[in-house]
Amino acid sequence: MSESASPYTYPQEFDVIVVGGGHAGTEAALAAARMGSKTLLLTHNIETLGQMSCNPSIGGIGKGHLVKEVDALGGAMGLAADESGIQFRTLNSSKGPAVRATRAQADRVLYKAAVRRMLENQPNLWLFQQAVDDLMLEGDKVVGAVTQVGIRFRSRTVVLTAGTFLDGRIHVGLNNYQAGRAGDPPAVSLSARLKELQLPQGRLKTGTPPRLDGRSIDFSKCTEQPGDGTPGGDNPDNLPVFSFMGNRAMHPRQISCWITHTNTTTHDIIRSGFDRSPMFTGKIEGVGPRYCPSVEDKINRFADKDSHQIFLEPEGLTTHEVYPNGISTSLPFDVQYALVRSMPGLENAHIIRPGYAIEYDYYDPRALKNSFETRQIQGLFFAGQINGTTGYEEAAAQGLFAGLNAALHAQDKEAWLPRRDEAYLGVLVDDLITKGVTEPYRMFTSRAEFRLQLREDNADLRLTESGRRLGLVDDARWDAFCRKRDAIDAEAARLKATWVTPRTVSKQESERVLGKAMEHEYNLFDLLRRPAVTYKALMGMQAEADAKVQIASPAVSCETLADLYEPVVEQIEIVAKYSGYIDRQKEEVEKSLHFENLLLPEDLDYNQVAALSFEVRQKLTKHRPQTLGQASRISGITPAAVSLLLIHLKKMG
Ligand code: FAD
C-alpha cells in the first residue's frame, strides 16, 4: 500500500474477489458470477482486460483442447476467439482426431473488446480498477484484499491471477527495469506481502519478439500462408469455429500470414550479441520455456541449423503491426535491429516495439490443494501464470477452475475436480499439484494418457453436463447441447437398426462404398467402422436399399438436421471408427479408477509405512498427495512404493 493510503472499507461484501484481469482472471470472475456468487474483479487497468501479452493467437495443439473445454463449461475464450479470429487453421488435420487442434490468429483489439463486453454484461460481476497491494487475513483465512489507495474489499474467497506481474522485471540487453509487461506497472507490494506469508516461491522468465510495422515489410519476398476456409489454405472448404455456440458468420474478415526465415548472417548477428545477452551473462536467473525458446537460445542450442522459419502474423485488421513469431529475444536493441533486417522481406523493417524478456515470481503449485486453494491460507486460490504455467489457454482453463471452486467454497460446497480421463483440465491441474514445475508449463496432447477420449470435438459431450450442474452453463447453451447430444444418440441408434443386404444393395453400389461386393447383411453402424467408409457414402447406399424395397418414407437421416449435420456426422464417424480403441481405453480407466481415487488421510504419518525408502517418505511428507493416484505421479514414487502404501491403507482399514 502507498504510504499516504488511508483505510476505507467498501460497504458491500463479496463471495469471490478475483485479482487480475488477464486470461485466468477474466474466466475466474465470469465463472464465479455465472454460478451466482457476488464477484468483484479487481485489476490494474480496465483497458487491459483480456489483453494478450504476447502473440495474438489462441489455440494450437493441446491448447485448442483447453479452449474447447473452457467453452464447454460456458467460458469466454472460444467465443472471443470466434469474434476476433482473422485466420483459422485446423492443425494436424490429416492425423487422428485426438491430436487435431484448432488455432486462430486473433485481432487483439477485437479479442479484448469481446472479453470486456462479456464481463460488463455478466450479472453478479462488478469491475474495479485499482492495484491490489495487500491481502486481508484473519488467522489462516483470507477475508479480502486491499488496494493501492487503501480501499479494503471484504470477501469470503480471493483468487489471485497476477500473471507475470509479481515483482516483474523486463530485460533488454543489459538494461532492465521493473514492469508487469511492456507498458504496465509491476505488482511489487503484493509480491513482498506474499513472500512475507512464506508461500513457496521461485522465479521464471518468458520473452517476446520485437513488433514490426507491416508497411515496411516487402511481402513479395515472403511466402504467403492462407488460412483454412480461404483459397490456397490447407483446408479451403472448411473454416474452423472454436465455440460450440459459435459459427462462421461471427468471424471477421480472414487474412493471410506470411513466412520468412533466418539465415547464416542472422545467426552471426545474434552470436555477436551473446556477450550482452541477459540470458547468457547471468542477469536473468529465472528459467524460460524450453519448447518456446528465444532466438538466441535456438541459435546457441541448435548451432548446426543454418535457418529457422519465421511466421509474420498480423496483429489485427485495423493496425499495421506484425508479430514475427520465432524471434522472441532479449538481446540489446541494436542487435534486434540488425537481426530483423538480415531476413528476406525485412531489409527495411521498422521495429515498433522492442523484444524483451520478463522475469517474475511464481508460486509452487504443489502447495495448492486439488481445488487450487492454497493449503496454507483458507479461501485463497491461485490460477494462471502465477502457478508456473505459460499460455493464455492454460491460464484461462485454470482461471475457470479456480473461479468455480472459489464460488463453491464460498457456498460451503465440495470442490469440483475433473479427472485425468475426463478433461485436459484434469490433466493440467493434476500435473501441477503433483509434479510442480521446473520450467513454464504448457499443455501438450502427449501429457494426456487418455487422449483418445479427450478430443476437441467431444469437449462438450465430456463437460457440458457437469457445467450445467455447477451452474456454469446457461439455458441457450444447454438447449443447444441437448439437441446435439440427442441427435447423435438418435442417429447412432438408427444406423445400428438399419440393415442392408446383398439383396437390397447392387454390386456396383457395394463396390463404390465398400470396395467389394457385399457378402452378408450388415447394419450401417458396423459398416461405418471400416476406415474407408464415410457417412455420406453410406447414406447413398441406404437410399438405394430403401428404393429397392420400396420404403414409402425412408428412415430419416441427419441430412434433415441442418445446422447439426456437420457436428453429428463428425461425432458418429469418430465414435464408429475408433470405438475399439476407445472401449479399450475406457476399460483401462475403469481399472485404474479405484486406486486413483483412494484418499490418503491428511495426517498420514509416512514414517509408519513399512519398507518405504527414506527418500520416498520425505517426498510424500513434503507433497502430501490427496489420493493414491496423485502419489503415484510424484517423480521418484515407484509402483513398489504405491503397493506399500496400498497395503498400509488396507491395514489402517
Ligand atoms: P496475465 O495475462 O499476465 O494477466 C495478469 C493480470 O493481472 C493483468 O491484468 C494485470 O494487470 C493484473 N494484475 C497483476 N497484479 C495485480 C495487482 N496486484 N493488482 C491488480 N491487478 C493485478 N504465452 C505463450 O503461450 N507463449 C508465449 O510465447 C508467451 N510469451 C510471453 C511473453 C511475454 C513478454 C509475456 C508477458 C507473456 C508471455 N506469454 C506467452 C504468457 C501469456 O501472456 C500468459 O501465460 C498469460 O497471459 C497468463 O495469463 P494470466 O491471466 O495468468 O496473467
Tens of pLDDT, residues 349-408? 999 999 999 999 999 999 999 999 999 999 999 999 999 999 999 999 999 999 999 999
Least confident span in 296-310, 457-471, 634-648: 634-648
d(CA 125, ligand 1 centre) in Å: 21
Range(s) within the chain of domains with CATH label 3.50.50.60? 14-79+114-205+360-469
Residue 467's pLDDT band (cuts 50, 70, 90): very high
For the record, the C-alpha cell of 575 comes out as 465414435
Residues 511 and 624: their CA atoms lie apart, in Å, by 61
d(CA 243, ligand 1 centre) in Å: 23
d(CA 80, ligand 1 centre) in Å: 17
| Contact yes or no for 118/80 (Cβ under 8 A) | yes
Would you say 288 is a known binding-site residue?
yes
HSE-CB for 522 with a 13 A CA cutoff: 18
* Residue of 45, 55, 158, 164 best suited for mutating to test ligand 1, as the one with most atoms within 8 Å of CB: 164
Residues 433 and 100: their CA atoms lie apart, in Å, by 27
78 vs 233, higher pLDDT: 78
Q: What share of the chain is helix, strand, coil (3-state, %, to 5)?
A: 40, 20, 40
Would you say 294 is a known binding-site residue?
yes
Residues 413 and 405: their CA atoms lie apart, in Å, by 9
Is domain 211-356 in CATH 2.40.30.260, yes or no? yes
Residues 396 and 379: their CA atoms lie apart, in Å, by 20
For the record, the C-alpha cell of 455 comes out as 478430443
Which 3-state string (H, E, C) describes 437-462? CCCCECCCHHHCCCCCCCCCCCHHHH
Class of domain 14-79+114-205+360-469: alpha beta
> Is residue 557 pLDDT above 80, yes or no?
no
Length of the chain equals 653
Ligand 1 binding site (Cβ under 6 Å of any ligand atom): 19-25, 42-45, 48, 53-54, 131-132, 161-165, 180-181, 184, 187, 190, 206-208, 292, 358, 384-385, 390-392, 395
Strands 151-160 and 8-9: parallel
- 0.95 surpassed by complex ipTM: yes
State the closest ligand 1 atom to the C-alpha of 394, by its place in the atom list counted from 1.
45
Range(s) within the chain of domains with CATH label 2.40.30.260? 211-356
User: How much is the pLDDT for 650?
Assistant: 83
Strands 57-59 and 101-106: antiparallel
What are the tens digits of pLDDT across the range 237-252?
889 999 999 999 999 9
| Contact yes or no for 217/323 (Cβ under 8 A) | no
> Is residue 80 pLDDT above 70, yes or no?
yes
Q: Phi/psi class of residue 515: alpha, beta or left (left: φ > 0; alpha: ψ in -120 to 50)?
A: left
Range(s) within the chain of domains with CATH label 1.10.150.570? 598-652
d(CA 344, ligand 1 centre) in Å: 32
Residues 586 and 584: their CA atoms lie apart, in Å, by 5
CATH number of 475-579: 1.10.1040.10, 1.10.3720.10, 1.10.10.10, 1.10.10.1800? 1.10.10.1800
| Contact yes or no for 630/605 (Cβ under 8 A) | no
d(CA 390, ligand 1 centre) in Å: 8
Would you say 149 is a known binding-site residue?
no
Amino acid letter, 272:
S
Residues 208 and 194: their CA atoms lie apart, in Å, by 27
* Residue of 295, 385, 441 best suited for mutating to test ligand 1, as the one with most atoms within 8 Å of CB: 385
What are the tens digits of pLDDT across the range 187-231?
999 999 999 999 999 999 999 999 999 999 999 999 999 999 999
Q: What is the DSSP letter of 222?
A: S
Q: Which residues, other chains included, contact 321 with Cβ-Cβ below 8 Å and sequence gap of 6+?
A: 211, 212, 213, 214, 314, 315, 352
Instruction: State the architecture of 598-652 in CATH terms.
Output: Orthogonal Bundle (1.10)
> Is residue 291 pLDDT above 80, yes or no?
no
Amino acid letter, 157:
T
Range(s) within the chain of domains with CATH label 1.10.10.1800? 475-579
- Residue 431 dihedral angles phi and psi, to the nearest 5°: -60, -45
| Contact yes or no for 93/100 (Cβ under 8 A) | yes
Residue 104 bridge partners (DSSP):
58, 88
User: How much is the pLDDT for 633?
Assistant: 85
Residue 17 bridge partners (DSSP):
40, 158
CB count, 10 Å around CB of 353? 14
User: How much is the pLDDT for 148?
Assistant: 96
Ligand 1 atom 7 nearest Cα: 20
- Residue 91 dihedral angles phi and psi, to the nearest 5°: -80, 150
Ligand 1 atom 11 nearest Cα: 44
> Is residue 461 pLDDT above 60, yes or no?
yes
The CA distances from residue 546 to 500, 525, 550, 554, 558, in Å, are 9, 16, 6, 6, 16
> Is residue 556 pLDDT above 60, yes or no?
no
> Is residue 577 pLDDT above 80, yes or no?
yes
State the closest ligand 1 atom to the C-alpha of 392, by its place in the atom list counted from 1.
46
Ligand 1 atom 40 nearest Cα: 391
Q: Please give the share of the chain, as a percent, with pLDDT higher than 90.
A: 72
User: How much is the pLDDT for 246?
Assistant: 95
When mean pLDDT is compared over 141-150, 484-493, 623-632, the highest value belongs to 141-150
Ligand 1 atom 14 nearest Cα: 162
Residue 8 bridge partners (DSSP):
151
Would you say 227 is a known binding-site residue?
no
State the closest ligand 1 atom to the C-alpha of 184, by its place in the atom list counted from 1.
11
State the closest ligand 1 atom to the C-alpha of 187, by its place in the atom list counted from 1.
18
